[in-house]
Amino acid sequence: MTTKERREFIKGNEAVVKGAILAGCTHYFGYPITPASEIAHAAALYMPKVGGTFLQAESEVAAINMVYGAASCGRRVMTASSGPGISLKQEGVSYIAGANLPCVIIDVMRAGPGLGNIWPEQGDYNQVVKGGGHGNYKTIVLAPNSAQEMCDLTVLAFDLADKWLTPVYVLADAYVGQMMEPVTFPDKVKKSERKPWAIYADKDSKHNLVTSIIMSCEGLEKVNLDLVKKYEEIEKSEVRCEEFQTSDAKLVLVAYGISSRLSHTTVEILRSEGCKVGLFRPVTLFPFPKKEIRTLAEKVQAFMSIELSSGQMAEDIRLTLNGKRPVEYYGRMGGMVPSVDELVTKVRDVYKKMNS
């Protein structure tokens, strides 16, 4: 396959599926919902062509339980949805996490709460980053901001899911899922290796047991303590983030997804005016880059969270800093996305007040 053949102008949602197949994904179970529907469409088109399985379930609840079953059998498996659909999947995600199974879940966020509308928002942050379902579980959460990262972070998600035996979310907003950009795909297709804990309906795996129901209090507490230990290890080793123009910044914007793209341009414009503004982009929302933000706080005066939500991530920034630095917030909701001019005005006002 030549470099030219590997590069394609493609929607972020479709790049997810091609990335998943190249990562060794063989099974997709889902239910279409705008603005994530192209993922199901692409999976229906491409999965059978590579000998994989696509199945449109009767509901989101059914889909996530099919994911549970395929993951139990050692398959690299995925699903995708948006807001209301993710809410319906949360019980199943809790079961999968409790059973220590790997899978990948794509959430292309739309505006809420309730049915809301199909336009971009980042209001799923709390339900995905904080767990969402019942019990003491967490999931790794990756936040792409381009069609290229929709591919790359999906590939990474499968590797992290297998490494840590946990569900991994790729959390994108509708803008990132729907935008078309050039994407360069990996050279090779990965193959999922046989997993010693999985159920293959053969002699070697007949003693394996996959379950999340532990009837003894002592046994279930041990399961929870083991999960806590696993999440602590993930926080130590899997943090990913990016910085832009932070070396001499007085005010640092914090943003992910489409908000980070808008914030990047905002920083460039304000820098041209002499304002010392920078950008910090969390690529992992769990594990949240606490250490990196605290280190940055040693040399900056304030932070400003830019979100398409009511400030859900801003709460995590404030908890991370524990009052050490002020944390401003600016966001839009309901599918409204700020223009660059709007952000420049808002950030400039905060910067001037800081230095007045």
Whether residues 80 and 196 share a domain: the answer is yes
According to the model, what pLDDT value does residue 44 have?
A: 98
Whether residues 165 and 41 share a domain: the answer is yes
Structural domain ending residue among the three candidates 220, 237, 254:
237
Distance of CA 171 to the CA centre of its chain: 3
Cα separation, 289 vs 314, in Å, equals: 13
Structural domain ending residue among the three candidates 175, 210, 237:
237
Number of domains in the chain: 2
In Å, how far are 15, 64, 141, 170 from 57, measured between CA atoms?
22, 9, 24, 21
For the entire predicted model, the pTM comes to: 0.97
Cα separation, 328 vs 303, in Å, equals: 6
Structural domain ending residue among the three candidates 206, 221, 237:
237
CA dihedral 268, 272, 277, 283 (to 10 degrees): 10
The answer to whether 121 touches 112, Cβ cutoff 8 Å, is yes
SS3 assignment, position 250: coil
Tens-digit pLDDT profile for residues 140-171: 999 999 999 999 999 999 999 999 999 999 99
The residue range of the domain holding 217 is 3-237
According to the model, what pLDDT value does residue 163 have?
A: 98
Whether residues 141 and 9 share a domain: the answer is yes
Whether residues 217 and 254 share a domain: the answer is no
| N-terminal to C-terminal alpha carbon distance within the chain | 58
According to the model, what pLDDT value does residue 259 have?
A: 98
Cα separation, 305 vs 293, in Å, equals: 12
According to the model, what pLDDT value does residue 5 have?
A: 56
The single residue listed with the structure tokens 């997993």 is: 195
Whether residues 189 and 43 share a domain: the answer is yes
The CATH code of the domain that includes 324 is: 3.40.50.920
Whether residues 224 and 268 share a domain: the answer is no
Residue 275 CA neighbour count, 13 Å, CB half? 25
The CATH code of the domain that includes 86 is: 3.40.50.970
Whether residues 230 and 315 share a domain: the answer is no
Which DSSP string do the residues of 62-103 spell out, in sequence order? HHHHHHHHHHHTT--EEEEE-HHHHHHHHHHHHHHHHTT--E
According to the model, what pLDDT value does residue 356 have?
A: 80
Spans of the chain, pLDDT less than 50: 1-4
Whether residues 37 and 22 share a domain: the answer is yes
Whether residues 141 and 196 share a domain: the answer is yes
The answer to whether 277 touches 251, Cβ cutoff 8 Å, is yes
Whether residues 251 and 155 share a domain: the answer is no
Whether residues 33 and 158 share a domain: the answer is yes
Whether residues 146 and 207 share a domain: the answer is yes
Tens-digit pLDDT profile for residues 228-284: 999 999 999 999 999 999 999 999 999 999 999 999 999 999 999 999 999 999 999
In Å, how far are 13, 22, 116, 167 from 90, measured between CA atoms?
21, 27, 19, 11
According to the model, what pLDDT value does residue 188 have?
A: 87
